[in-house]
Structures are given as structure tokens and as C-alpha cells.
């Protein structure tokens, strides 16, 4: 297959809650069950859906975020992630045309679909309508002529008669083919909590069962041959594919960098790890819930996002690892922590002792902090040079007191005005800001360079 001509389609919806994740994940699983190599992708900064996508497809779920990575990198990142695949399924975010607030179409599902030249399948919640579905689909199909809305999957259909009415209306009023119809009585168990679905890594057997059920549901409800034909109608993309090796210059010495993983720290973009390795690091995963110490001879540490608040007692009980992390930070080895990592490095989380590397305490709140941010580094640190500008994303229900150190990690203008945030003193960089390093590969190169310059721990 021509590596630039990967069959692909985008699964979108008029709004959140229409069933995109069930349909997209189910499609990935059903197509994989046919023996096809499926490449899973997700529009936007979501970490959780790609975990289910990865289970369904048997390869890492990859994010396509035009805000954090830049529109010019979307097609290259897609080609990188989809290399060797027979078909790619891209799950959208929110409603089809909903993008970064106040920035028009930027980072919307429609924007990414256009960048990928991919046909769009609209998942419509039909539970409270019949003929009106045609007006809705017609509106979405005609809103932006550059978006090719090429199919509809009806969700939450009540009966055979309801389906008949919906199909008649769409045939008469929109001309958009119906590719499938999922009944309202069909259900798949995908439990949620305060930040969305429970990550697949935390559910193990339950997550596998849920993905299997999604695949069986979609396989029985959707015309997979029609879906494949639509995906194969996508025109070739112009290359080349994104390459971590072309984004960074490797340092000498191959420093070992520990990467927090497991159920408590499951939020990570695959490209971040690839960039660390391309910059010369040996990346060594470890699980803070179970490992009593950091891996041997590590010269740096990366702790990404996740749900430490759900495992606060277990994390605190692993006192030997907390001491090992505090020792590494005190030695001057570079430490980069995002969101969950920030909470873990503080003195306490909800009154329970954490690593004590940072002079801050964290607690859960009812308030959700969510949104894209444009940030600047105020001073030189182990992750970024002074003046470095990045685009990232905040997503949490916790607050740190204080929220910034004497040397903050970043400054940005948030919903409440300008603010400084995070900690960037000594060898530690910790912040609420999630970053996709494909949009700022120099961060990986700088961190690995800092690690290479340190004496390895015995």
C-alpha cells in the first residue's frame, strides 16, 4: 500500500454525548476482528479514549491536536501513527465544528478532517426525533463545503419503525447514506468518574470486555463493508510522515530516564516517549504503585498525568519509592512532572503525605479547570529556556497551595486573567500544564541533555 494513501475516516457528532466513543471504538474492534490492521486516533488532548482505542486496535492510540502541535503537523503525525495500517479510524471531539474557544475552527474535528482530507461519518443521537434528523444532517453537511460529510450512523434508535422513519427522512432530505443503526436498548458498560471514563489501564479485564462488547455491537449494527469503501475513498496525503529522529539531535551517553506509568499515571502521549528516545535517552518505565524504588542508574525522571487522587493511600504507603524520588531530585537530576506528577511531588495530597519534593499541598475541589493555554517560560529551567513559548492544556479538579514557586514554571493568560503557575527551581519542573512534545520537541532534547550532564546515581 502507498504509505501516503491510507484509507481513513473521521467519526464525528453534532455534540458531545451522542455516542462517538462507543461507535469509534467499536469500529476499531470490529475491523480488527476482520483481520485488518487498524490505526486508532483521537482529535484533541484526550488521554482516556485513546486507551480504549489501543485495546481495540492492538496498537497505540494517537492524538491529533492542531492547537498543541500546529495544523502543519497533523497530517505528518497521522502518517507516522498509521504507518503499516490497512485503515485508520479517527474519533472526533465534542461537536463536529467545536474547536478551541474563540479561535474559529482551530483544533475542531472539522479542522482535523480537512487537514487529513478524510470523509466524515456523523453519529446522530436519534432518540427524540424522526424527520428532524434530515434537517440536522443537512445543516451539518452544508455548513462547511470543505468538510465531506459522507455517512450517518444512527444511535439510540427505538424500534424498526423508528429506524424506517429516520432512513426515509434522510434519503428524502439529505442524500447522506445511513451506514448503520444502533438500538437504544443496546448498552456497553463504560463506567465514568469526575474527569470522564475510567482509563482502560485501570479496568484491565473489564476494559477488555467493554471493548469486545463495543466491537460486537457495532459489527452487528453497522455496514462494515460500506465503512471500508468510504475510508478507501480518501485521497492520498502529501508526505513525509513525522519522525522523532528528525526533530531532535541525540546527546551522547544514553542517559536513563525513568517514566512513571501504571494505573495512577496513565496519561502520556506516545510521541513524548519517542522524542526522549530519539534525543538519546533510554526510557525505563516504572509503576509508582508497586515498585519500591526507581530503576537503577537513572539520571532523570518524567511523571505525566493520571489519577493519583484515586490511589493516594497506595502511593503514600510506598514510602521507599517516595524517598527514592526525593533523593533523585535532591541530587540535581532533571525531573519533569505534569498535573498528576505535580500533585505527587508535593508535600501532601488531600492530607496524605506525598514525595515532599515541592513546598506545596494539593486537594480535590468541585471546580473543573479545563482549557487550552498559551504559556511562556519565565526563566531557564531543565525543560525550557527562558522565553520558550508552548501551547498546552489544563484538565483537573485539584488545586495546589501555593500554586506557583519562587520561580514559576510558566506564565499565561487564563480565563481569570494573567497568572503564573507551577514550579521550576533547581532541577525540577512541575506544572498543571499538559504538553504534547511533538509541538515543542526542543523540550525533550533539553531534558535529555540535562540528564546526560548529571552523574548517574549508583
Beta bridge partners of 401: 361
Residue 353, strand partner residues: 348
Q: Which residues of 189-211 are buried (b: 16+ CB within 10 A; e: fewer)?
A: ebeeeebebbbbbbbeeebeebb
Distance between CA atoms of 196 and 219, rounded to whole angstroms? Answer: 25
- Rounded Cα distance between 210 and 192, Å, is 13
Residue 54 CB contacts under 8 Å (≥ 6 apart), including other chains:
40, 60, 61, 200
Question: From CA 72, how far away is CA 354, in angstroms rounded?
Answer: 40
The residue from 69, 339, 355, 400 that is catalytic is: 339
- The question of whether 339 is a catalytic residue gets the answer yes
**According to the 3-state scheme, what is the secondary structure of 347-413?**
CEECCEECCCCCCCEEEEEEEEEEEEEEEECCCCCCCCCCCCEEEEEEEEEEEEECCECCCCCEEEE
Q: Which residue in 435, 427, 387, 428 sits closest to 411, CA to CA? A: 387
- In the chain, how many H helices and how many E strands? 15, 21
Of 244, 119, 250, the C-alpha closest to 179 is 119
Q: Are 121 and 178 in contact (CB under 8 A)?
A: no
Residue 10: beta bridge partners? Answer: 90, 120
Give the helix ranges, DSSP H, for 205-269.
205-221, 224-232
Q: Supply the residues annotated as catalytic.
A: 339
Amino acid at each position: 500500500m502507498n504509505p501516503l494513501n491510507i484509507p481513513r475516516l473521521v467519526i464525528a457528532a453534532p455534540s458531545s454525548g451522542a455516542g462517538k466513543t462507543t461507535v469509534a471504538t467499536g469500529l476499531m474492534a470490529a475491523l480488527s476482528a476482520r483481520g485488518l490492521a487498524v490505526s486508532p486516533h483521537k482529535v484533541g488532548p484526550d488521554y482516556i479514549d485513546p486507551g480504549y482505542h489501543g485495546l481495540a486496535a492492538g496498537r497505540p492510540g494517537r492524538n491529533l491536536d492542531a492547537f498543541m502541535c500546529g495544523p502543519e503537523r497533523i497530517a505528518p503525525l497521522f502518517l507516522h501513527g498509521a504507518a503499516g495500517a490497512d485503515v485508520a479510524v479517527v474519533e472526533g471531539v465534542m461537536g463536529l465544528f467545536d474547536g478551541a474557544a474563540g479561535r474559529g475552527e482551530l483544533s475542531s474535528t472539522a479542522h482535523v478532517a480537512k487537514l487529513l482530507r478524510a470523509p466524515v461519518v456523523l453519529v446522530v443521537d436519534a432518540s427524540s426525533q424522526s424527520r428532524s434528523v434530515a434537517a440536522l444532517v443537512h445543516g451539518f453537511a452544508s455548513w462547511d463545503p470543505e468538510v465531506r460529510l459522507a455517512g450517518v450512523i444512527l444511535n439510540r434508535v427505538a424500534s424498526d419503525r423508528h429506524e424506517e422513519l429516520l432512513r426515509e427522512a434522510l434519503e428524502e432530505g439529505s442524500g447522506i447514506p445511513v451506514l448503520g443503526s444502533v438500538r437504544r436498548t443496546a448498552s456497553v458498560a463504560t463506567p465514568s468518574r469526575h474527569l470522564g471514563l475510567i482509563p482502560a489501564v485501570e479496568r484491565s479485564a473489564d476494559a477488555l470486555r467493554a471493548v469486545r462488547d463495543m466491537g460486537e455491537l457495532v459489527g452487528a449494527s453497522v455496514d462494515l463493508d460500506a465503512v471500508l469503501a468510504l475510508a478507501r475513498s480518501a485521497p492520498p496525503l502529501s508526505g513525509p510522515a513525522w519522525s522523532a529522529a528528525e526533530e531532535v539531535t541525540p546527546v551522547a551517553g544514553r542517559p536513563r530516564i525513568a517514566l512513571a506509568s501504571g494505573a495512577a499515571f496513565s496519561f502520556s502521549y506516545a510521541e513524548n516517549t519517542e522524542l526522549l528516545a530519539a534525543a538519546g535517552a533510554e526510557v525505563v518505565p516504572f509503576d509508582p504503585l508497586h515498585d519500591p524504588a526507581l530503576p537503577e542508574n537513572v539520571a532523570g525522571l518524567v511523571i505525566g498525568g493520571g489519577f493519583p487522587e484515586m490511589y493516594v493511600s497506595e502511593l503514600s504507603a510506598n514510602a521507599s519509592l517516595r524517598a527514592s524520588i526525593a533523593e533523585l531530585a535532591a541530587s540535581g537530576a532533571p525531573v519533569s512532572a505534569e498535573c498528576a506528577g505535580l500533585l505527587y511531588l508535593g508535600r501532601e495530597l488531600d492530607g496524605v503525605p506525598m514525595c515532599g519534593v515541592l513546598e506545596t499541598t494539593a486537594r480535590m475541589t468541585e471546580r473543573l479547570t479545563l482549557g487550552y493555554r498559551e504559556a511562556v517560560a519565565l526563566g531557564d529551567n531543565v525543560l525550557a529556556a527562558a522565553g520558550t513559548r508552548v501551547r498546552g492544556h489544563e484538565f483537573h479538579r485539584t488545586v495546589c497551595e501555593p500554586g506557583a514557586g519562587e520561580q514559576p514554571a510558566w506564565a499565561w493568560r487564563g480565563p481569570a486573567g494573567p497568572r503564573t503557575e507551577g514550579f521550576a527551581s533547581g532541577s525540577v519542573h512541575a506544572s498543571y500544564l499538559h504538553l504534547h512534545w511533538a509541538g515543542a520537541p526542543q523540550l525533550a532534547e533539553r531534558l535529555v541533555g540535562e540528564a546526560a550532564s548529571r552523574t548517574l546515581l549508583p
